[in-house]
Chains A and B, each alone.
Chain A
Amino acid sequence: MAKINPDFKDELKKYGAFDFNACYNCGHCTAVCSLSTPEDSFPREMVRLSVLGLDENIQTSLKPWLCYYCGECSETCPRQAFPGELMMTLRRWLTAKYDWTGLSGLLYKSLSLSILFFVLLIAGVYYFAVSEQFNVEKIMHIGHYFEMFAIIGVFSIIILPNIIRMWYFTIVKSGYKIKFNTYIKKFGELIVHMFTQKRALGCDDNQIRWFEHLILVIGYLALLFTTVVLDWFGTDNDFIIVLGYVESALIFIVTFIFIFERSKKTTELSSHSHPSDWFFVIWLFLMGLSAFFVRIFIDTGLIHQNLWMYLFHLTVLVQWALIIVPFGKWTHFLYRSFAMYFDALKKTK
């Protein structure tokens, strides 16, 4: 027994969906989807649940994460209901549902609130720089520590509880009892999907998109490792320095392509951009680019006269680490891989 909630679609529209109510359930979208299978059939089912407002069923479903958005469903839809964009919206909505703080939802729904947070963090970084009297060494030192603590803090306080919530909704609440052994046995799925996104290869559109994405993920994780663990900005090791240059360059080149595609709306998947999508690609781009220049400034000895360069990088980093990573689009990196992991667990039944 399920009760219709007609207001749910208004809620979803705040997360970016539109016109999905036009759906007349022909199922074209599901038929053309190259990832949809008889066991995991989407997107029509998700469109239907969204139209009826059966949010409980969506919350316990992993299907939104099983879609890698090639956009073919939206292109084929005879009613222009944009099922692909709805799936994207449901991922935002799920991200907000998993987030125990509730901040995620607020930021997704309100652009002005997001901007306010970004501005507050700019002020915070400036205040910090002033209180440290613009001491380059000290600021860069603390900046390095911030990275480490931010990673640990955000992961343990926000992300880990949220993943546990995701597990609770999708496994426990939807009635699955899975043996501990199975969790161990299937753990490989998580790692494989996290580092390869191999499921995206099943999308019909093109393999270039998957490759760009793979480069970005590897580049991003490697740069994270290089800056935090290998202390890129502090090291004298030539190999590490070059490695950092390569990684940051990869990031800003790939994200530049993404930004270009989104602004030109070259494909179906790049034609509908929610603010959170823009924040994600632009900040990644800025991070890669500013890190690149900070290291150039260090190598050319310009950094002491041009602390603003580092402060700019630090601001982008702080905004990234405190807004986009815990409450923004970054989390899809984890949720997607966990969804594949959980899906594999469910399939063992």
Chain B
Amino acid sequence: MKNKIGVYICHCGGNISDYVDVEKVRDAVKDIEGVEISVDTMFACADSSQKQIFNDIKEKQLDGLVVASCSPKLHYPTFSAVAERAGLNKYNYVHANIREQVSWAHSDNKLGATEKAIQAVKAAIAGVKESISLEPIKIKSQKIVAVIGAGVAGMRAAKELADLGVKVYLIEREYFVGGRVAQLDYLCRVQETGKELVTRMYEAIHKHENITLFTGAEIIEKGGSIGNFKIKLKITPRYIKKDCNEDELKKAIEVCPVEVDDDFNFNITKRKAIYKNYPSEYPQKPAIDIKNCTRCGECEKVCSSIDFNQKEEILDLTVGSILTATGFDPYRPKENEFGWGLDNVVTLPQFRRIINMCDDKLIYNGKEIKEIAYIYCVGSRQVDGENKYCSRYCCTATLYTSILTHKKYKNIHAYHFNRGIRTYGKQEVIYDEVSQLGDIFLQSYEYDPATVEKQGDKTIVKVKDILTNNTEIEVEADLVVLVTGMEPRKDNSIGDVLKIPKGRDRFYNEIHMKLRPVETVIDGITIAGACQGPKNILESVNSALSAATKSYSIVNTGELALEPIIASVNEDTCTWCGLCADACPYDAIELINKNGKDIAEINKSVCKGCGMCLPVCESDSIEMSGFTNNIIENMISAYADI
């Protein structure tokens, strides 16, 4: 019970005192038991007033503080900081809102407003009397971060964390690192290829003593919480011995009789069951795709490095934070969508691979390509489909691809069937460059998009061009390139394991679009790169660095201070009905058996103190620290003058 309470009533210039008789409020509460001083002030938030409160707390040894002023949204943090600075626990401060809830709301009734203000301050005093000092909950945190996905975002984040002295487990589901960037050749606005970028990143992480790279690895279970996540890692072997003979492995790839669609080239070519996506790929050992391998044994005959005895491994790891950078999948057009299924209709990612494979002549399906029709916004900004978003990267990527084709091959004509070119920011110069190169842009509305059809052996692309007075314009194309957008990974099981919420667009969701863009509602799990939404490389790396910093801030001191306002269970009265666990949006409540009795237990590091569990508890066994039943009931009584 606090008995040296300081009460400060603010005039707010006149915002309050024009309607509320502040002096009367001051006098009405000054004799309440436990109130040490009751003061009115012109502006409680002014520096001088803050100083006065500070001095009063110090000199008069106040043990509770009430400020009656504006909305707590505005100045709760101000006055709780004053309390803290003066050595008063900030949970012994209660804020009364007598501006938004009193003076402004009752400007027509000054007497009534004053009366209500008095009650509001009385309630605050009643609350502060019962308040308890609280200290932040301290938990130990592992100085380890698991980074999921060794694409450009994951590798960059891993490098950053490792440089800051944090141990990193870099977990990649594929056998090779680099993700989508490895599939790109020249990158726009840098004189480097995707492979070079990946190689550079790989060398940096490979040498780094703080980074452990797992390939062929997947998280299959997650437990624990921020600071101490327990993850189960399943590692599929490569079936290649550690010290391998490279020449023999080359032969092994040659003799392998199994041919499957090559994912890396978006299925336009085939690869063997023992494979590497490209010669200099990292890690440099090939891997055996065991799902497609027939175990014919041909490779073992020519190569001593093959080892089919390698077994799947399960590792248990504990990490302080998880940084998720699992990337995206390119949109796969539906059958007949813009001619998808015809022999000369490909997607932009496929086209990039074709360019990569054709040296001086652009040839696809045995035919030389001269006339290229690009159809934009395939799988993005859909009218009927569910992908309502813009994939951001594609306009720039397509225009840059067109520049590449003009540089690499002669006499290329390119037609861009778009719905408005969005080469935002610095990328606009690429649009400019392409226009100068003579490419033709045709624009249509979303409800009247381009059509692709075969007329004999000709492929005709037609559009009602809004830039030419809606004239129907047609182009005979050798190749139609569908500019496909980004989609969340088809296999997004990791999201379910980690319980990361998804947005309406099915990408992982951040807490706040603008202010907390890399954190998720699961404390300790951050998101980076295109798993959160369409991003180009620059934006992915930006978010990766930001997520790395956020994850670092969780693990760096080895200790976490969490907000102490959380729920707690009265073990004597709880009989476990499960309603609280159902109501909890953070999965913070679990069933435990204590002394032979089923009760609910609150995970302190997961609970956010939202209070959703309180009203559903039939036995009233849950209390919220800082807002205990006792405090709330006292405040209500004081308000109602009971």
A binds B: yes
Does A24 contact B415, Cβ atoms closer than 8 Å? no
Does B467 contact A2, Cβ atoms closer than 8 Å? no
Q: Which residues of chain A are near B435, meaning CB under 8 Å?
A: 21-24, 79
Partner pick for B475 among A4, A21, A48, A49, CB 8 A cutoff: A4
Q: How far is the CA of A22 from the CA of B437 in the complex (A)?
A: 8
Residue-wise, chain A 47-80 has the 8 Å CB interface mask toward B (1 for contact) of: 0110110100000000000000000000000010
Partner pick for A4 among B421, B431, B473, CB 8 A cutoff: B473
B442–chain A nearest beta-carbon distance, Å: 8
Task: Name which of A6, A23, A51 has the most chain B CB atoms within 10 A of its CB.
Answer: A6
Does B468 contact A52, Cβ atoms closer than 8 Å? yes
Q: Is A295 an interface residue (CB 8 A)?
A: no
In residues 15-51 of chain A, which contact B (Cβ within 8 Å)?
Answer: 19, 21-25, 45, 48-49, 51
Q: How far is the CA of A54 from the CA of B440 in the complex (A)?
A: 12
Does B432 contact A2, Cβ atoms closer than 8 Å? no
**How many residues from A make CB contacts under 8 Å with B?**
19
A37–chain B nearest beta-carbon distance, Å: 15
Q: Which residues of chain B are near A79, meaning CB under 8 Å?
A: 432, 435
Partner pick for A2 among B415, B421, B440, B471, CB 8 A cutoff: B471
Q: Which residues of chain A are near B441, meaning CB under 8 Å?
A: 24-25
Q: How far is the CA of A52 from the CA of B472 in the complex (A)?
A: 12
Q: Which residues of chain A are near B440, meaning CB under 8 Å?
A: 4, 6, 51-52
Q: Is B386 an interface residue (CB 8 A)?
A: no
Q: Is B413 an interface residue (CB 8 A)?
A: yes
Q: Is B469 an interface residue (CB 8 A)?
A: yes
Does A22 contact B436, Cβ atoms closer than 8 Å? yes
Does B467 contact A25, Cβ atoms closer than 8 Å? yes
Q: Which residues of chain B are near A25, meaning CB under 8 Å?
A: 441, 443, 467
Does A21 contact B473, Cβ atoms closer than 8 Å? no
Q: Which residues of chain B are near A52, meaning CB under 8 Å?
A: 440, 465, 468, 473
Task: Name which of B413, B440, B476 has the most chain A CB atoms within 10 A of its CB.
Answer: B440
Chain B residue at minimal CB-CB distance from A23: B435
Q: Which residues of chain B are near A49, meaning CB under 8 Å?
A: 468
Chain A residue at minimal CB-CB distance from B421: A24
Does A4 contact B468, Cβ atoms closer than 8 Å? no
Task: Name which of B413, B432, B435, B474 has the most chain A CB atoms within 10 A of its CB.
Answer: B435
Q: In the complex, how many residue pairs between chain A and chain B have their CB atoms under 8 Å apart?
A: 52
Residue-wise, chain B 421-452 has the 8 Å CB interface mask toward A (1 for contact) of: 10000000001100111111101000000000
Q: How far is the CA of A2 from the CA of B439 in the complex (A)?
A: 17
Q: Which residues of chain B are near A51, meaning CB under 8 Å?
A: 440
Chain A residue at minimal CB-CB distance from B460: A3
Chain B residue at minimal CB-CB distance from A6: B413
Interface size class of B (residues with CB under 8 A): 20 to 34
Does A6 contact B474, Cβ atoms closer than 8 Å? no
Partner pick for A54 among B413, B436, B468, CB 8 A cutoff: B468
Q: How far is the CA of A125 from the CA of B465 in the complex (A)?
A: 55
Q: Is A184 an interface residue (CB 8 A)?
A: no
Q: Is A9 an interface residue (CB 8 A)?
A: yes
Does B415 contact A4, Cβ atoms closer than 8 Å? yes
Q: How far is the CA of A75 from the CA of B436 in the complex (A)?
A: 18
Chain B residue at minimal CB-CB distance from A4: B475
Residue-wise, chain B 463-487 has the 8 Å CB interface mask toward A (1 for contact) of: 0010111011111100000000000
Q: Which residues of chain A are near B471, meaning CB under 8 Å?
A: 2, 54
Chain A residue at minimal CB-CB distance from B438: A21
Residue-wise, chain B 387-428 has the 8 Å CB interface mask toward A (1 for contact) of: 000000000000000000000000001010000010000000
Does A19 contact B436, Cβ atoms closer than 8 Å? yes
Chain A residue at minimal CB-CB distance from B431: A24
Residue-wise, chain A 308-339 has the 8 Å CB interface mask toward B (1 for contact) of: 00000000000000000000000000000000
Q: How far is the CA of A1 from the CA of B472 in the complex (A)?
A: 5
Q: Do A2 and B431 contact each other (CB < 8 Å), given the known contacts A21-B438, A52-B468? A: no
Chain A residue at minimal CB-CB distance from B433: A22
Task: Name which of B431, B436, B443, B467 has the most chain A CB atoms within 10 A of its CB.
Answer: B467
Partner pick for A21 among B415, B421, B436, B474, CB 8 A cutoff: B436
Q: How far is the CA of A23 from the CA of B226 in the complex (A)?
A: 54
B387–chain A nearest beta-carbon distance, Å: 26
Q: Which residues of chain A are near B432, meaning CB under 8 Å?
A: 22, 79
Task: Name which of B443, B468, B475 has the most chain A CB atoms within 10 A of its CB.
Answer: B468
B455–chain A nearest beta-carbon distance, Å: 12
Does A48 contact B474, Cβ atoms closer than 8 Å? no
Q: How far is the CA of A9 from the CA of B440 in the complex (A)?
A: 11
Does B468 contact A1, Cβ atoms closer than 8 Å? no
Partner pick for A45 among B415, B438, B469, B474, CB 8 A cutoff: B469
Q: How far is the CA of A249 from the CA of B446 in the complex (A)?
A: 63
Q: How far is the CA of A48 from the CA of B468 in the complex (A)?
A: 7
Chain B residue at minimal CB-CB distance from A45: B469
Partner pick for A9 among B421, B438, B467, CB 8 A cutoff: B438
Q: How far is the CA of A51 from the CA of B471 in the complex (A)?
A: 14
A147–chain B nearest beta-carbon distance, Å: 46
Q: How far is the CA of A51 from the CA of B414 in the complex (A)?
A: 12
A5–chain B nearest beta-carbon distance, Å: 10
Partner pick for B467 among A1, A6, A48, CB 8 A cutoff: A48
Q: Which residues of chain B are near A21, meaning CB under 8 Å?
A: 435-439
B247–chain A nearest beta-carbon distance, Å: 50
Q: How far is the CA of A335 from the CA of B367 in the complex (A)?
A: 47
Q: Which residues of chain B are near A3, meaning CB under 8 Å?
A: 473-476
Q: Which residues of chain A are near B413, meaning CB under 8 Å?
A: 6
Residue-wise, chain B 106-140 has the 8 Å CB interface mask toward A (1 for contact) of: 00000000000000000000000000000000000
Q: How far is the CA of A24 from the CA of B428 in the complex (A)?
A: 12
In residues 226-273 of chain B, which contact A (Cβ within 8 Å)?
Answer: none
Q: How far is the CA of A6 from the CA of B371 in the complex (A)?
A: 10
Q: How far is the CA of A128 from the CA of B162 in the complex (A)?
A: 93
A129–chain B nearest beta-carbon distance, Å: 50
Q: Which residues of chain B are near A23, meaning CB under 8 Å?
A: 435
Chain A residue at minimal CB-CB distance from B467: A25
Does A2 contact B438, Cβ atoms closer than 8 Å? no
Q: Which residues of chain A are near B437, meaning CB under 8 Å?
A: 21
Q: How far is the CA of A45 from the CA of B474 in the complex (A)?
A: 18
A22–chain B nearest beta-carbon distance, Å: 4
Q: Do A2 and B436 contact each other (CB < 8 Å), given the known contacts A49-B468, A54-B468? A: no
Q: Which residues of chain A are near B415, meaning CB under 8 Å?
A: 4
Q: Which residues of chain A are near B467, meaning CB under 8 Å?
A: 25, 48
Q: How far is the CA of A23 from the CA of B476 in the complex (A)?
A: 23
Q: Which residues of chain A are near B469, meaning CB under 8 Å?
A: 45
Does A6 contact B438, Cβ atoms closer than 8 Å? yes
Q: How far is the CA of A100 from the CA of B467 in the complex (A)?
A: 33
Residue-wise, chain A 131-160 has the 8 Å CB interface mask toward B (1 for contact) of: 000000000000000000000000000000
Q: Which residues of chain B are near A24, meaning CB under 8 Å?
A: 421, 431, 435, 441
Q: Which residues of chain B are near A48, meaning CB under 8 Å?
A: 467-468
Chain A residue at minimal CB-CB distance from B465: A52
Q: How far is the CA of A54 from the CA of B473 in the complex (A)?
A: 10
B308–chain A nearest beta-carbon distance, Å: 56
In residues 470-519 of chain B, which contact A (Cβ within 8 Å)?
Answer: 471-476
Ordered nearest first, which 5 A-B pairs have the shortest CB separation?
A6-B413, A22-B435, A25-B467, A21-B438, A2-B473
Further pairs besides A24-B435, A48-B468: 15, Cβ < 8 Å? A2-B471, A2-B474, A3-B473, A3-B476, A4-B473, A6-B413, A6-B438, A9-B438, A21-B436, A25-B443, A48-B467, A49-B468, A51-B440, A52-B473, A79-B435
A-B contact list, 8 entries, CB within 8 Å? A1-B472, A2-B468, A6-B438, A6-B440, A9-B438, A25-B441, A49-B468, A52-B465
B residues adjacent to A (C-beta < 8 A): 413, 415, 421, 431-432, 435-441, 443, 465, 467-469, 471-476
